[in-house]
A and B are shown apart, each in its own frame.
Chain A
Amino acid sequence: GEDVEQSLFLSVREGDSSVINCTYTDSSSTYLYWYKQEPGAGLQLLTYIFSNMDMKQDQRLTVLLNKKDKHLSLRIADTQTGDSAIYFCAETPGGYNKLIFGAGTRLAVHP
C-alpha cells in the first residue's frame, strides 16, 4: 500500500542541525521529494533525491536515502528561525504526477 509517515513535531535551537525523518512504503518510487510550507502559504519544492542515490547535498540541506529500510531524512545545517515551517516528504509510486505526501513535520526553531 501507499503510506508515508513522519513524526509530527521537532524543536531545535537556532544554529543546531535539524533532522527530519520520513518512512515510505512503495519501493517503486523513482523520486522522493521534500517540500516546505510556511504559515499561510502553499508548499514550495525544497529538494529531491533519485532512488538510485544514497545522498544529495544542496547548500544547507542534505538528503539521505536508505532504500533497504525505505527511510528518507532531511538534514538542515545551521538551522535559522526562517526555517520554521512544516516539512513534507512525498513519494511517487504512480509517477511524478501523482505524489503521496506524509502528514508533515512541524519544525520550531527557538533561540
Chain B
Amino acid sequence: NAGVTQTPKFQVLKTGQSMTLQCAQDMNHEYMSWYRQDPGMGLRLIHYSVGAGITDQGEVPNGYNVSRSTTEDFPLRLLSAAPSQTSVYFCASSSSGPPEYFGPGTRLTVT
C-alpha cells in the first residue's frame, strides 16, 4: 500500500513549456485534489475530483487542467508554464470529506 505517490519530485521548466504532474493513489479513494503551496501562504486548491469522470475547479484553476479517467490517477497539466506557477504542488486523496492523505509534493521552478 503506497498511499499517494507523486512524480516527479523536482522539475525545472522554461516559460511556455508544458508538462504533466502525475498523482496516483492505491486506496480506492473517490476524492482527489491538487493544491499548491507558496512560501508564507497556506495551501490553495487548484482542482478537485469526487470520482472518475468528475472534476471541478478550486480557488486557483487558471493555467491548469485535470482529468480523472480512473479512480487511481489524477494528473495535473500545466498548459504553458509561467514563473507565477513556481510552487510546491501537493496531491491529496480521501474516501470522503476533506483531504486525508497527501503525497510528498512536486517542487516546480519555472524560469
Contact = CB atoms under 8 A, between A and B. Distances in A.
Interface of A: 4, 31, 33, 40-45, 48, 88, 90, 92, 96-104
Interface residues of B, number: 25
A103 B42 contact: yes
* Of listed B59, B97, B98, B105, residue having the most chain A CB within 10 A: B98
Given A43-B90, A97-B48, 12 more contacts: A4-B42, A31-B98, A42-B104, A43-B99, A45-B99, A96-B98, A97-B98, A98-B45, A98-B59, A99-B98, A99-B99, A101-B43
Given A41-B104, A42-B103, A100 B42 contact: yes
B100 interface: yes
28 contacts: A4-B42, A31-B98, A40-B104, A42-B90, A42-B92, A42-B101, A42-B102, A42-B104, A42-B105, A43-B92, A44-B101, A45-B100, A88-B42, A88-B43, A90-B42, A90-B98, A96-B97, A96-B98, A97-B48, A98-B45, A98-B58, A99-B98, A99-B99, A101-B42, A101-B43, A101-B44, A102-B42, A103-B42
Interface string B39-68: 011111100101000001011000000000
Contacts of B105: 41-42
B25 interface: no
